[in-house]
């Protein structure tokens, strides 16, 4: 039992830190996904999304992508993902691909959007 104490302490600290991180970024709002057509998905935090996003984008933070994937519609629906730099959207793309989504594109960073025909809101 004494050998488990450091592990339990680490797990406890980790859980507290993750909870504080979630509070700092704000709660994850329910997503409203348009029923048809292309979905523009911003996988940044709610705080980042509120500071500016692409027109028509839906915010679904990276940490919630797998849990909320069933709300994204048909698995062959076109989904264009972006974040700040393209890193988180790449990870989200891989998560969705593992869940069976097939029509995915990583737009890259939010500032790449206007260059690719997606204006800022």
Whichever domain contains 65, its CATH number is 3.40.250.10
CA distance 45 to 69: 17
Does some domain include residue 105?
yes
CA distance 25 to 88: 15
Radius of gyration of the chain (CA): 17
Does some domain include residue 3?
no
> What pLDDT, on the 0 to 100 scale, is given for residue 24?
45
Which pLDDT tens digit goes with each residue over 21-37?
A: 444 444 555 566 666 68
Does some domain include residue 75?
yes
Mean pLDDT by 10 residues, the chain (121 residues): 59 44 49 77 97 95 95 94 98 98 97 94 93
> What pLDDT, on the 0 to 100 scale, is given for residue 21?
47
Catalytic (active-site) positions: 83
Backbone angles phi, psi at 57, to 5 degrees: -75, 150
Identify whether the C-beta of residue 39 lies closer than 8 Å to the C-beta of residue 58: yes
- Range of 101's domain? 31-116
Does some domain include residue 96?
yes
Does some domain include residue 40?
yes
Number of domains present in the structure of the chain: 1
Does some domain include residue 121?
no
The tokens describing 83, both together, are 């974040």
């Amino acid at each position: 039992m004494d050998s488990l104490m450091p592990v339990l302490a680490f797990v406890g600290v980790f859980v507290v830190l993750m909870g504080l991180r979630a509070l700092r970024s704000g709660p994850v709002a329910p997503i409203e996904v348009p029923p048809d057509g292309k979905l523009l998905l911003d996988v940044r935090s709610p705080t980042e999304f509120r500071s500016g996003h692409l027109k028509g984008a839906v915010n679904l933070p990276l940490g919630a992508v797998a849990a909320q994937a069933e709300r994204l519609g048909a698995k062959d629906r076109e989904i264009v993902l972006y974040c700040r730099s393209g890193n988180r959207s790449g990870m989200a793309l891989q998560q969705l691909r593992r869940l069976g989504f097939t029509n995915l594109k990583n737009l890259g960073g939010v500032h790449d959007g206007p260059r690719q025909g997606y204006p800022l809101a």
